[in-house]
A and B are shown apart, each in its own frame.
Chain A
Amino acid sequence: MQVLKSKHARVTRWSHWLNVPLLAGMIWSGLRIYWANDVYEIAWGNHVLFHFFPDSFYDLLQLRHRLAAGMAWHFTLMWLFILNGVIYVGYTIFSGEWRYLIPGRHTLREAWQVLLHDLHLSRIAPPARKFNGAQQIAYTGVVLMGLASVVTGLAIYKPVQLAWLTYLLGGYPLARLEHFVLTLGYVVFFLIHITQVIRAGWNNFRAMITGYELTSKEAFHA
C-alpha cells in the first residue's frame, strides 16, 4: 500500500520554477552585456584553450550588438530575481525547512559517499532523508551563489557609490570576472542537477511539481 507524503511546500516549488526563466533571463541579458567586452579565456601560457565565447554561440543566441537592450533587461529582471530569492530564503528560514538543507557536521563525509555511489565506485546507498549530504551542499551552495551574484553585481553596477564593496572584491575588473565565473557556476550546477533529477526518477521529479511523493506505508512511518 502506498501513501502520499508531502515533500516540497508551495512557496518552494513556485520560487524554484520561477527561478528557471528568471535566471535564464539574467544569463541571457548578461551575455549580451558580456559580448561588448568578451575578454575572458582559459589559457595555458600563450595557448588559448577556450575563448568565452565562440562566434557560433553569439550568433545562435543573438547576443551581438545588443548591449543597450541587454543592460535594460538585466537591470529590470534583477528586481524579480532578487525578489524571488528573498521570498525563497525568507520562507525557508521561517518555515524551518532550512533544517533539511543546512550542512551539518557529517555532511562532507556523507556527500563524499554519495559521490562515490553515484560514480558507481561504492555500494553504500545514500541515506533516505529528504536531502542527502551532497544535496545539502549543492542546494545551500547555489543559494549562496545567488547571493554572491547580487553582491558582485552591485559592485560592478555602482562601483563608485559602493567603492568599498568593489574594493573588498578586489577591484572593478576582478569583481566583473567574479560575476562572470558565478554564472559559469550556474551552468555547471544546472548540468549536474538535471542529470541527478533524471537519475532520481519520476516520483522525485513529480514531488517538485505537486509537492507530494508516493511512498510505501512502512517508509512513511519509519
Chain B
Amino acid sequence: MPEQTRPAARDPVVQMRQMTRRSLFTGSIAAGAGMLGLTWLGATAEDEGIPWPLRRVLTLNEGLARAAFRQQSTASEFAAQAAEEPRVNGSIGLDNPPPGTAAQIQVSSAGRELRVGVDVLKRMTRVEHTTELKCIEGWSTPVTWAGIRLRDVAEHFRLAGSYVALETPDRAYYVGLDAASALHPQTLLCFEMNGEPLSSDHGAPLRLVIPVKYGIKNLKRIGSIRFTEDRPADYWAERGYDWYAGL
C-alpha cells in the first residue's frame, strides 16, 4: 500500500484529533450494535434448550456435515490390547432389570412391525472393532466392541428410511440417527464389550455402538429400532445439544 498523506490544508494535529474522535465514535456504534445483537440473541425464544438462532446454525452445520459425510471414512481402529473399561456415564432407561436371554426387540419400517429375538440377531455375521468411545464431555476410551452390523440387520429384514429411531424398553432414553450414519459399516448392535458379554450397566442384552457419533447416541439396552422418514426425537437434542452430534 503506497504511503499517503492527507491534504495538508489544516493542522495535522487538529486533523488527527478529529479522526480519532470519528473513529472512536464509529467503534462505539459498532460495539453498541454488537451488544444489542447479543442482548437480542439472549432474549430470543429457545428451540430445544438453546436460543433458536444458535439452533439454526447447528442445523446448518448438520447440513454441511451430512453433505460431506462419507461412509468410507471410518473411526481409527486400535489394537485390542489398547482397550479399556469405559466409564459408566449414564443410566437413563436402565432402571428396570435387563430382559433375559429371550429378549425381543421391536423393529419397524414402513408400517411393517416385527419382533426379533436377540438370540436370532446374535447368529448373524459377527463384527469386532476396537474404537474410541468419544463422550461429548470431551473424554474418550478405546473399547473393543463385538456385535452385528446394523446395516446387515437392515438388509436382512429389508428395513429402509431416511432416519432411524432407537428407544430403551421403558422409552426413557431415545436417540435419532440419520440413515447414512446408522448404516455406517462400524455401526453395531453390540452384545460384547472387551471380550465379555455386555453388562447391565453397559446396556445388556443389546446396545448401539456408533463410532461416527458422540457417546450420547450410543444407546444402551435397545428396546426398539424404527426406520422412518420423519426426523426422530432425541433425548439430548431436546436438552440443548446438537441433534446430529456427528464426528
Query: Interface readout for B9-40 with A: 1 if CB under 8 Å, 0 if not?
Result: 00011011001101110010010001000000
**Which of A50-91 touch B at CB < 8 Å?**
67-69, 71-73, 75-76, 79
Chain A residues whose CB sits within 8 angstroms of the CB of B27 once the complex forms: 17, 209
- Closest residue of A by beta carbon distance from B181: A160
Which residues on the A side are within 8 Å of B163 (C-beta)?
A: none
B112 at the interface (CB under 8 A from A): no
In the complex, what residues of B have CB within 8 A of residue A33's CB? 138
Point out which of A167, A171, A172 has the most chain B C-beta atoms below 10 A from its C-beta.
Answer: A172
- The reply to whether B50 and A209 form a contact with Cβ atoms under 8 Å apart is no
* Interface bracket on B: 35 or more
Contact B54 A72 (CB under 8 A): yes
Cross-chain contact of A163 among B8, B51, B75 (Cβ < 8 A): B75
Docked complex Cα distance between A6 and B247 (Å): 47
User: Across the interface, which residues of A come within 8 angstroms of B58, CB to CB?
Assistant: 72, 75-76
Distance in Å: Cβ of A63 to nearest Cβ of chain B: 13
Contact B75 A212 (CB under 8 A): no
A141 within 8 A of B: no
Number of A-B contacts (CB under 8 A): 122
Q: Mark contacts of B218-241 with chain A using CB atoms, 8 A cut-off: 1 yes-contact digit, 0 otherwise.
A: 000000000000000000100111
When the two chains form their complex, are residues B212 and A76 in contact, meaning their CB atoms are under 8 A apart?
A: no
Query: Beyond A3-B8, A36-B138, A172-B140, is A212–B16 a contact (Cβ under 8 Å)?
Result: yes
Known A17-B27, A158-B247, A161-B73; contact A209-B20, beta-carbon cutoff 8 A? yes
Q: Is the Cβ of A67 less than 8 Å from the Cβ of B5? A: no
Is B240 a contact partner of A160 (Cβ separation < 8 A)?
no
Q: A37-B137, A96-B1 are in contact. Are A68 and B75 (CB under 8 A)?
A: no
Cβ of B74 within 8 Å of any chain A Cβ, yes or no, is yes
Contact with B along A152-196 (1 / 0, CB 8 A): 000000111111001100011100100000000000000000000
- For B239, the chain A residues whose CB sits under 8 A away are 68
In this complex, what residue of B is CB-closest to A96?
Answer: B1
Chain A interface residues (CB < 8 Å from chain B) = 2-6, 9, 17, 21, 33-34, 36-37, 39, 67-69, 71-73, 75-76, 79, 95-97, 158-163, 166-167, 171-173, 176, 206, 209-212, 214, 220
